[in-house]
Amino acid sequence: MTLANGREYLAIPGPSVMPDRVLQAMHRAAPNIYEGALADMVDAMVPDLKAVARTRHHVAIYICNGHGAWEAALTNVLSRGDKVLALCTGRFTHGWADVAEKLGADVARLDFGTQGTVDAEAFAEALAADNAHQIKAVLVAHVDTATSIRNDIKALRDILDKAGHPALLCVDCIASLACDPFEMDAWGADLMVAASQKGLMTPPGLGFVFFNDRADAAHATAGMVSLYWDWTPRSRPDFFYQYFGGTAPTHHLFGLREALNMIGEEGLENVWERHRRLSGAVWAAVAAWGQGGPLRFNVEDPALRSQAVTALSIGRENGTRLRKWLIENTGVTLGIGLGMYARDDPEGNGYFRIGHMGHLNTHMVLGALGSIEAGMIALEIDHGRGALEAAARACA
């Protein structure tokens, strides 16, 4: 006997829960990929996709995951030997920097650890030291999904402007897009990468590179541009086939169309606000539990935390024990700890993450939190009282 049977909740930070509307939109026969309804749909969808990124500029769509979007972005603006500065907060910008290195860029990393945002002074110093303006691109994650650190992208733009430095500001919004507020044009990001399976509520398999005219000017001299990943035909196709450099990802596109319909109906600002309120419920519960036990936020200051994911520590072994108990007994799947290891916990078993991105509402979040409390009771993990009431009040 198990209490886990019933509708499951995948509370990991991507892939996120797929709405029934998205699944149903994908359940259909294959369309013509040369002309007709699919081509018309994609033409009409591109402006809606840009609206979610808050950009009036360009987007190239790829059949790939976030790692593919990373590589697509870099090859469109860099040449071998170009200097790249990676602002690493947590794990994911290291991953993007690894791609740049393998492609032949000359990558320098500023590592700000796993608990804090980019240090403004250190970034300004690195730019000041580059008076020959050799740094071509600055890489940063808006939200690092491993640690839940959220960086202030507008502040980074201001630092570049103050230094009069022309490097492209390249932002990874794979975790944050349509979860945390992000304003590509108003905040001055030159390039932004995203993927379908997090805030966009669509299966993994679509990668997006948004870019402005400054980034496109860099493309004109970039030596890494390849036929398949070149963003020019994809962003300004003369005929439908050029959007995808081959057969279109037909069913992903139907799913994405429906997800964008849902975001449009709710309103992007309401989507952000829903994430703010529901992440607030998670944080209220965690704060209360932490009063009487080992559970701790990875990022202490809520102003520096993402509304899409919460990274937590709970003491040796307890993270893995709790996750397993929840899967077996509640139907809730929590995220594993990623890139967070203590010296006495090399496998990160003392960590876990709660994904709260995309298609989620009060009953899902309160259900997951109630399930976590049940797990802590069953496993005799100490915890403070009043967490569920605090979370309920945050939703009231």
Ligand X SMILES: *Cc1c(COP(=O)(O)O)cnc(C)c1O
Q: Which is nearer to ligand X, 325 or 352 (CB)?
A: 352
Pairing outcome for strands 206-211 and 143-144? unpaired
What's the min distance (Å) between Cβ of 154 and ligand X? 18
Which amino acid appears at position 187 of this protein? Answer: W
What's the min distance (Å) between Cβ of 33 and ligand X? 24
215-225: b (≥16 Cβ within 10 Å) or e: bbebbeebebb
Q: Which is nearer to ligand X, 115 or 318 (CB)?
A: 115
Q: Which is nearer to ligand X, 335 or 375 (CB)?
A: 335
Rounded Cα–Cα distance for residues 160 and 241 (Å): 38
Q: Which is nearer to ligand X, 263 or 311 (CB)?
A: 311
Q: What is the dihedral of CA 183, 185, 188, 192, to 10 degrees?
A: 70
Q: Which is nearer to ligand X, 306 or 313 (CB)?
A: 306
What's the min distance (Å) between Cβ of 98 and ligand X? 12
Rounded Cα–Cα distance for residues 241 and 247 (Å): 7
Name the DSSP letter for residue 342. Answer: B
What's the min distance (Å) between Cβ of 6 and ligand X? 28
Q: Which is nearer to ligand X, 16 or 235 (CB)?
A: 16
Q: Which residues contact 29 (CB under 8 A, 6 or more apart)?
A: none
Q: Which residues contact 198 (CB under 8 A, 6 or more apart)?
A: 13, 14, 15, 16, 174, 175, 177, 178, 179, 308, 357, 358
What's the min distance (Å) between Cβ of 182 and ligand X? 12
What's the min distance (Å) between Cβ of 90 and ligand X? 9
Find the farthest-apart pair of alpha carbons in the chain and give their distance in angstroms, rounded. 68
The residues binding ligand X (CB under 6 A) are 14, 65-67, 92, 141, 143, 145, 172, 174-175, 195, 204
Q: Which is nearer to ligand X, 111 or 130 (CB)?
A: 111
What's the min distance (Å) between Cβ of 70 and ligand X? 7
Closest residue to ligand X in the complex (CB): 66
Q: Which residues contact 265 (CB under 8 A, 6 or more apart)?
A: none
